[in-house]
Amino acid sequence: MAPKRKPVSFDTTLRNPARIPDFIAVLEEYEDVLLDDDTAIKIEAEIIRRKIFEPTKSTLGTYVPEYHDKFDFSAADHSADASKKVDYLFDKWKRSESGECSLDEIVYLLNNTITKHAEKGWKGGWQSRLHTQFNFLNELGFVRVVKNKKILISENGKQMISGFSNDNAEIKPNFDNLVQSSFLNAFAKYQVNNPYRFNTVKVNFFPLVLNTIKYLKDTYGRPGVFTQDISFIICWPNNDYISLAEFIYKFREENGYSKSNEFVYEYAMNLLDDTSVNSPFVKASESFLAKNSNLYKIDKIMHETPDEVIRKLRLTMLVSLRGGGRFIDLNHIEQSKINHIIEEYSDNKNFDADYSNYFTYMGKIDSSLNFSDSDEPQNTDVKEQKIQEWAGSSTWEFLEKEMKNTVSKSSSADLVLKYINEPVRLEFLSAVALKKALPDLKVIANYKADDQGIPFSHASGAGAGSSGSDIDAYEGNMHVIVEPTISKSRSFHVEHELPSIRSHVFAACAEDTNSQNGYNDWFSVFLAVDGLSRDVGEQARLIKDSTGVEIYPWEITDFIKHSQTVTSINDYRLIRNYAVPRKMPNLKNNN
C-alpha cells in the first residue's frame, strides 16, 4: 500500500529560535563522537543540568524500578535507598542554578527514572526524548544527531552558536543576528521531503509561501494570505504556487472571510484526497472525511499547525502581520532576501535517505541571507505609530494581564501578541504602557520590527548611535533607559541585567554629550516580575554609590498601577519599598 500523503507539520519542541543555540552548544564537546547509548544519556543529562530543558517531578523526580509497557526499562540502582536518592537529587537540581549539579548526579537520575517517549530506532525513555529535541534541528541541517552515527555540527549550526556562551553575560551583541541569519538560511532551503521525514509530498515550504503571497499581490493586489488559508497551504501537494494562489483567490471571492473553521476544513481535506476525481475546489467526500477525520483532526489542520507555521514564518523576519494578525504578508523591508529565496530555492531536490548530502546542502551558509548590523532597518516612525496605536486602543487591565502572562510564559489569545516571542513582547507592551501613561513622551523601542511596526526580536545591541538599550524615553532634558526582563532569576538580575543597564546609561550619556542634543539627565527603569529579590534594590544602590548611575527597579503590577497616576517620566524616579536596601541594625549603641 502506498504511504498516505500527510499535511505539512512542524515540530513544536523548539518554538523559540533563541533556545536552539543552547541545544547545539551542548553538542560541541561531543562533535565527531559516536552517538551510542552512553553518549545519548550524557547529552540529555547535560541539557537538563544546564536547565535548557526542565523535566517535572513526575518524570525526573520519580524513581521507577521497572517498566514494561511502551518499552522495557530496569533501573540501574535497585538498592533500598534508590527512591530517596532520586528524591534528594531531583530536589537539589530543582533548587540549583543552571550547571550547579554535577553531570554524574543527573546521569544517575536518568538511569533510574523514565519519560514515556518511545521513538523508532532509539531506546525508550530519555534517549527517545533526546531524539525529539534534536530531530527538527536535524531537518534544518544545524546538526546530525542520528543513533549510532558520529555527531556533527554544520557550518550554519556553528554560525548560530558563534555569538553564544553558556555564560549569559558573555553573549555577543550580534547574537540575535547570528541566530536569525542561521534560521533563515535553514528555513529557506527546508524541504518537506527530507531523509528525516516519511512523506510523499515534495514541497519547498517557505518558497511556496513566498511565491503564493507574491503572486496574489502581483496578480490581484491582495494584501497577503488570510491566516485561515494556511490550512490550504499545508495540505497542498506540490510547489505549484500559481494553482494554489488561484485556489485561494477563488475560494475567498466566493466565500468571503467569515466562514467557519469547519467549512474551510472540508475543503482543505479534499486537497489530501489523491483519489478525488473532482476539481480541488470542492469539499471532501463524506467517505473520505469519515475515514480520515480522526487521522487529520480539525484542530490540527485549522489551528495547531497553522499557528506553528506562522511562528516559523515570523522567525525568518521576512513575513509581516497585517489586519490585526489576520493576514500574513511579505515584509517589504527585506524584499531583497525574499527575491533571493524565490530565485534560488524554489526547486525541489531529491535526497531520499542520503543523510550526508542533505546535511552538507542544508548546513552551507548563503551569505545573501545573513542579517548584519549595517543593514538593520531603522523603521522608527512605523514602530512609534504602532506603539501609539496600541496605547490608544489598549486598556490598563489588558496591558497588566498581557505583561503578567508574558513573564509567566502563559499563552496570549491576542492574534498579534501570540506570535511575538516573550522577551520582545514585554518590551513592546512596556513601550505601549509608557506611551499610554504619557502621550507626549517620545518612546523609541529598539527591537527589530516588520514593515507594520510589529516586533520580531531584540535589537542587535550597542553600536554607533545606539546605547544598546531596549527602550529610550525622552522628555525635556531627560533621557530615560527602560529595560524590561522576563527573567525571574535573582542572580541573572544582579550579575547580568543591572551591570548591562549601567553600561547602557553610560553609553547614552556619552552619545548625548558628544552630539550636544540637550539631554543631560539620565536614569533607568528596570521592569521585572512581581516578587523581586531585595538583592536587586541593594545592587542598584551599590551601582549608584559607586558610579552615579541611577537604576530604579519596578515590579510589573506596581508599574502598571503607578503609570495610571504619572504626569512626567520623572515620576518613575522612585525607590519602591521592595527595592529599599536592607541595613544592619546598630545594636552597639543600644548597649
* pLDDT tens digit sequence for 128-156: 999 999 999 999 999 999 999 999 999 99
* pLDDT tens digit sequence for 242-257: 999 999 999 999 999 9
% pLDDT > 90, the chain: 83
Over residues 67-91, the mean pLDDT reads: 97
Q: Looking at residue 9, what is its pLDDT?
A: 87
The C-alpha atoms of residue 106 and residue 90 are separated, in whole angstroms, by: 8
Over residues 210-230, the mean pLDDT reads: 96
**CA dihedral sign of residues 71, 77, 81, 82:** negative
Over residues 292-310, the mean pLDDT reads: 94
Q: In what helix (H) or strand (E) does residue 488 lie, and over which residues does it extend?
A: none
Over residues 81-89, the mean pLDDT reads: 98
Of 462 and 524, which is predicted with more confidence?
Answer: 524
pLDDT at 161 over 60: yes
pLDDT at 13 over 90: no
pLDDT at 166 over 80: no
Q: Where are the domains of the chain?
A: 17-185, 203-347, 377-579
Nearest of 481, 525, 531, 540 to residue 506 by alpha carbon? 481
pLDDT at 171 over 60: no
Length of the chain as a residue count: 591
Nearest of 574, 123, 296, 457 to residue 115 by alpha carbon? 123
Least confident of 163-167, 176-180, 254-258, 482-486: 163-167
Domain 203-347 and domain 377-579, same fold? Reply is no
Least confident of 459-473, 494-508, 563-577: 459-473
pLDDT at 365 over 60: yes
Triad 5, 8, 13: Cα angle to 5°: 130
Of 5 and 51, which is predicted with more confidence?
Answer: 51
- Which CATH number applies to 203-347? 1.10.10.2090
1 band by pLDDT with thresholds 50, 70 and 90: very low
Mean pLDDT of all residues belonging to the chain: 92
CB atoms near residue 289 (< 10 Å): 17
pLDDT at 78 over 50: yes
Grid coordinates belonging to 76? 540501574
Contact 159, 365 (CB under 8 A): yes
Q: What is the pTM assigned to this prediction? A: 0.90
Looking at CATH, the fold of the domain delimited by 377-579 is given as Restriction Endonuclease (3.40.91)
364 band by pLDDT with thresholds 50, 70 and 90: very high
6 band by pLDDT with thresholds 50, 70 and 90: confident
pLDDT at 461 over 90: no
pLDDT at 221 over 60: yes
Q: Residue 574 CA to chain centroid, in angstroms?
A: 33
Region for residue 476 given its phi and psi (left: phi exceeds 0; alpha: psi -120 to 50; beta: otherwise): left
Alpha helices in 409-533 (DSSP H): 422-437, 490-492, 498-515
